[in-house]
Amino acid sequence: MHDQRPVVPFLKWAGGKRWLIRNHSVFFDIPNRCRYVEPFLGSGAVFFSLLPKQAMLNDLNRELITTYTAIRDEWKMVARALADHNRKHSHEYYYHIRGSIPKDSVALAARFIYLNRTCFNGIYRVNRRGEFNVPLGTKTSVVLDTDDFEGVASSLSEVVLRSDDFQLVIDDCGRGDFIFADPPYTVKHNNNGFVKYNERLFSWSDQERLSASLRRAAKRGASVVVSNADHSSIRDLYSGCDILTLSRHSVMASEAARRRITSEILVRL
């Protein structure tokens, strides 16, 4: 692990795993010599808590990976650009930036963070043309007290960042690798409001392909932990593996009254 302190993730992400690493860190006891691999990075909550010395981080969302890369390489410029968004933020400005197409990685990263912090519920969603289309939310804080872009840059300094299909990443893993896979949840469970949208991003055939690729990596000697929906179809997909049921408070429902205890599973191969 790195000598620096854990870093607070700078993005809010649907399905983020801050709760998991906070309450169940025992499942992520990674030997120092292991390379940590995440095929679905998102907000990187587990990575930023563990800060492994070796890591390969991937996400198919190219703008997300560009954002991480820009912070790693030019964090001061990203911070300045984000502060500029903070000064200009308004209803009209949000939709102006939402409709813009930045020309360079720093501007793209600042836009990505700005929209993440001011859009509705921190959702990342694009239309069929690949255009971000989430409406303005109620949050107005663009620059946060928890921001530590220098720490983020330091933690990513030796990391391999990729934006590939998950199978390409997993197929590169074997003995000496610790894979944590946190795919989009695509089966209905616990009134999950993101299922319909996620099914367009990550189909059931993708779930099957993920399970098969992780089983192959485990046979090559990789250690594997997978989080997923607590649903019979997922349990069947990982039959024969060590399956743990975890309960938590759901925070994704738009109304507080609908936020209830929900369960997910953690699978160890």
Domain ranges of the chain: 18-60+164-268, 64-152
> Looking at per-residue confidence, does 144 or 196 come out higher?
144
- Average the pLDDT over each of 40-44, 111-115, 165-169, 243-247 and give the range with the smallest value: 243-247
CB 227 within 8 A of CB 207: no
Cα 140 from Cα 116, distance rounded (Å): 11
CATH class of 64-152: mainly alpha
Grouping H, G, I as helix, E, B as strand and the rest as coil, residue 132 is strand
* Pairing mode, strands 54-58 and 160-162: parallel
Strand partners, 227: 266
Q: Which DSSP helix (H) or strand (E) runs through 222? A: none
- Helix crossing, 105-118 with 62-88: angle to 10°? 70
Mean pLDDT, range 128-140, rounded to an integer:
93
Alpha-carbon span 247 to 242, nearest angstrom: 17
pLDDT tens digits along 32-47: 889 999 999 999 999 9
pLDDT score of 19: 85
Model pLDDT for residues 83-127, shown as the tens digit of each residue: 999 999 999 999 999 999 999 999 999 999 999 999 999 999 998
CA 150 to chain centre: 20
Place of tokens 């409406």: 135
Residue 112 CB-half CA count within 13 A: 24
Sequence-distant (6+) residues with CB within 8 A of 173 are 37, 179, 217, 220, 222
Per-residue pLDDT, averaged over 229-257, amounts to 80
- Separation CA 84–CA 98 (nearest Å): 15
Mean pLDDT rounded to a whole number for the chain: 90
The stretch 188-195 carries a mean pLDDT of 46
The residue type of 25 is S
pLDDT bucket at 203, cuts 50 / 70 / 90: confident
Q: What pLDDT is recorded for position 42?
A: 95
Distance separating alpha carbons of residues 137 and 134, to the nearest angstrom: 9
**Which CATH fold would you assign to the domain 18-60+164-268?**
Rossmann fold (3.40.50)
Residue 162 near residue 65, CB atoms below 8 Å: yes
Query: What are the residues facing 181 on neighbouring strands?
Result: 226
Cα–Cα distances in angstroms (integers) from residue 216 to residues 40, 91, 92, in the given order? 18, 49, 50
Report how far residue 245's alpha carbon sits from residue 131's, in angstroms, rounded to the nearest whole number. 36
Nearest to 166 by CA among 183, 153, 149, 151: 183
Q: How far apart are CA 157 and CA 150, in angstroms?
A: 10
pLDDT number for residue 189: 46
What SS3 class is residue 51? Answer: coil
Give the model's confidence band at 247: pLDDT under 50 very low, under 70 low, under 90 confident, else very high.
confident
* Helix axes of 105-118 and 91-98: crossing angle, nearest 10 degrees: 130
